[in-house]
Amino acid sequence: MTDASTTQPERSLKERLSDEMKAAMKSGDKPRLGVIRLIQSALKQKEVDERVVLTDTDVLAILDKMAKQRRESIEQFKAAGRDDLEQQEAFELGVIQSYLPAPLSDTEIDALIAQAIQSTA
């Protein structure tokens, strides 16, 4: 018998979201479950509207858009003095960002630029 994780390719983001939704249901983590359901809903809406099956790239684009919306909402709630809503949006942003790749640091970007310059020179 072989280990399933070594014989199968890496799971898609949609599969990961589905698995984590099940885990949140089992553990009773209602706030996280709510955010995952929001993400699932946004993905399903895009699939239905455009009649396509989303790729990981599409999912990342939707997650990035959702994160941007949360950041804008946090700023608006902060300006309005709505700490309760600001905290809710910050929590949602944290969950959404957990599915996004970590952004490159300035040092990593500089190294990639230098590498690209050297390879073309």
In whole angstroms, what is the distance from residue 80 CA to residue 36 CA? 27
Other Cβ atoms closer than 10 A to 10: 9
Task: Answer yes or no: are the C-beta atoms of 32 and 95 closer than 8 Å.
Answer: yes
| 1 belongs to a structural domain | no
Whether pLDDT at 61 is above 80: yes
For position 21, which CATH number holds? Answer: 1.10.1510.10
pLDDT band at 4 (very low <50, low <70, confident <90, very high): very low
Q: What is the pLDDT of residues 13-32, one digit of tens each?
A: 999 999 999 999 999 999 99
Mean predicted lDDT score pLDDT of the chain: 90
Whether pLDDT at 47 is above 70: yes
User: What is the pLDDT, as a whole number, of residue 70?
Assistant: 97
Q: Where in the sequence is the domain holding 22, given as residue range(s)?
A: 11-120
43-50 CB contacts, 8 Å cutoff, 24+ apart: 43/14, 43/17
* Mean pLDDT value across residues 1-12: 54
pTM of the predicted model, to two decimals? 0.77
User: What is the pLDDT, as a whole number, of residue 6?
Assistant: 45
Q: Residue for token digits 């706030």? A: 31
* Number of folded domains that form the chain: 1
- Computed over its alpha carbons, how large is the radius of gyration of the chain? 18
Whether pLDDT at 117 is above 70: yes
| 75 belongs to a structural domain | yes
Q: Residue for token digits 């990342």? A: 60
